[in-house]
Amino acid sequence: MVLPVVVVIAVLVLYPLAQGVFFTFTNINEANIANPVLDRAATYIGVGFRNYAHVLSGDTSYGAFWSTLVRTLIWTFSCVFFHYVIGLGLALLLNREVRGRSVYRVLLILPWAVPAFISAFTWKYMFNAQYGIINQALRAVGVDNPPVWLGQNDWALVAVIIVNVWLGVPFMMVALLGGLQSIPGDLYEAAEVDGATPWQRFRHITLPGLRSVSSTVVLLGIIWTFNMFAIIYLITGPNPNTRILVTYAFERFFSGASRDYAIASTYGVLILSVLLVFAGVYRRALRKQGEVW
């Protein structure tokens, strides 16, 4: 029964990965990839580190790597911060004895249940500068010139962050709720008997009790958000103000006459390297705090 493990990993992950890394050292594109349908053999050639040199130079014709990286980091950390804080807050509320708790839970999970591309269309409609409900509401409360949300300015980035926060909170909430329920209730009773304040109980029982779940879901959240593609692509398209690393890689892969697969792969490998470095640092930091992970 170990066989499927090895096969799955090898076929679905390792082989494509190795090939992807290999492509970054070539000039592969739509015109020279092997295509059995057209009965055409591969004619791409090796170019050494040229792709990396182009991308890392930060040249705008190669996606302005460094400023895109900064925008990706802003996007990732603001999203995950709000996911975690709001998710934890709601999980704490839902973990109490509240009347109608299961109803609240179903309602709060709803954003997770709706397919992301549907949410993207929905928010695109709601963010429309003229007839979108959000700007109508802003005008109604006296904001005369509400922002053009999805235009060529930084409001677009704010808008996609709002959408992604809306989308991602339920996952955090559910995962943290599971974590909260695994904390033994005796601990709280004992603390209460000893006269601990609610803040002290939160600080010394809840947070340590959640540490294991938190460290996993925060890491997963960061990875997923870093690679989150659908929301930005569907809401703002190729808007340079919301461009993050993955959306640019997709632009290179899919749009434009050239269909530059080599640059797309180079971006892929660079994204992966950034995440691996981050995960390594993260793990080491956790280990220093005595976490076995």
Partner 1 sequence: MTLDASSLKVVRPDRVAHKRHERSRAASTALHATLAIASLIAVFPVFWVLVTSFKPDARAVETTPKLFNESSLDNYTRILSGDKGSFLTWFGNSVLIALMTTVVAVFLSATTGYAASRFRFPGKRTLMMSFLVVQMFPFAVLIVPLYNILLTLGLQGEQFGLVLVYCTTAVPFCTYMLKGYFDTVPTDIDEAGRVDGLSPFGVFWRLILPLAKPGLAVTAFYAFITAWGEVAFASAFLSAADESKTLAVGLQVFVQQNRTEWGHLAAASILVAIPAIAVFYLVQRFLVAGLASGAVKG
> Shortest approach of partner 1 to residue 69 CB, angstroms?
13
Nearer to partner 1, 74 or 274 (CB): 274
> Shortest approach of partner 1 to residue 3 CB, angstroms?
8
Nearer to partner 1, 74 or 218 (CB): 218
Nearer to partner 1, 59 or 189 (CB): 189
> Shortest approach of partner 1 to residue 103 CB, angstroms?
8
Rounded Cα distance, 70 and 223, in Å: 15
Give the residue from 108, 106, 102 showing the smallest Cα distance to 87.
108
> Shortest approach of partner 1 to residue 98 CB, angstroms?
6
Rounded Cα distance, 25 and 102, in Å: 54
Nearer to partner 1, 45 or 118 (CB): 118
> Shortest approach of partner 1 to residue 170 CB, angstroms?
7
Nearer to partner 1, 156 or 265 (CB): 265
133 φ/ψ sector (left φ>0, alpha ψ -120 to 50, else beta): alpha
